[in-house]
Homo-oligomer: A and B are copies of this chain.
């Protein structure tokens, strides 16, 4: 692992975040961001013990100071001129299905704070590092990848808070793809249209069999594939779902 470029993953936790971090850790030192250190500590330990390098930073992705502090920590750790090969935004507001008139202001804000403001803060913090990755001739075009959901393209009944945040994030990703693609940064958005197979969802959809849920490792492979696309062949958006999913 000779690369001096790093990968930054926000929203590490059991599932997509951890799988993506592991995948990218095979090539790059990884920075793991999550509010709760429980979400990255054992993962960081595993990566560090198996020959990779991982640094966990407790970060509230929707808080300006907290995100700035994470960037400072990154620069202390990797040098002020550090470039990034990848930045992955996997944080998500609270998933909730609730009658609209029963939503509290805080319920509604949870979607917009993480996906809207958080997506903005993460992008502003990482794009300068990704642009440095371009200057530093990253072997694969530096990638900024956002995790979306079914609710990124569908506003279902009783889902306005989650959907509003996810649509805002998709808008951000499209706008950034158009602005930063020509500068060499590859911005993508991934629509995860189904349940991911993680400890928390073990009992879900059980009667449909083992193929009813998305594999987190499979998702990580797709993120890595997006990362390896050459500058002539950028994908902005892919969707992902189990073969048996109704959609």
For residues 81 through 139 of chain A, which have their beta carbon under 8 Å from a beta carbon of chain B? 99-101, 103, 105, 108-109, 112, 116-117, 119-121, 123-124, 127-128
Interface centre among A168, A184, A229 (most CB of B within 10 A): A168
Known A-B contacts A120-B108, A164-B171, A168-B167; the reply to A232 vs B242 at CB < 8 A is yes
- Are A234 and B238 within 8 A (Cβ)? no
| A53 touches B (CB below 8 Å) | no
Chain B, Cβ-Cβ closest to A189: B155
Chain A contact residues: helix, strand, loop or mixed: helix
Please list 19 pairs of residues, one from A and one from B, whose beta carbons are closer than 8 Å in the complex, sorted by A's number: A105-B121, A112-B116, A120-B160, A155-B170, A157-B178, A158-B179, A167-B171, A168-B168, A211-B231, A211-B232, A218-B230, A218-B233, A221-B233, A222-B235, A225-B225, A231-B243, A233-B240, A234-B240, A236-B241
Q: Name A's B-contacting residues (CB within 8 A).
A: 64, 99-101, 103, 105, 108-109, 112, 116-117, 119-121, 123-124, 127-128, 141, 151, 154-161, 163-182, 184, 186, 197, 211, 213-215, 218-219, 221-222, 225, 229-247
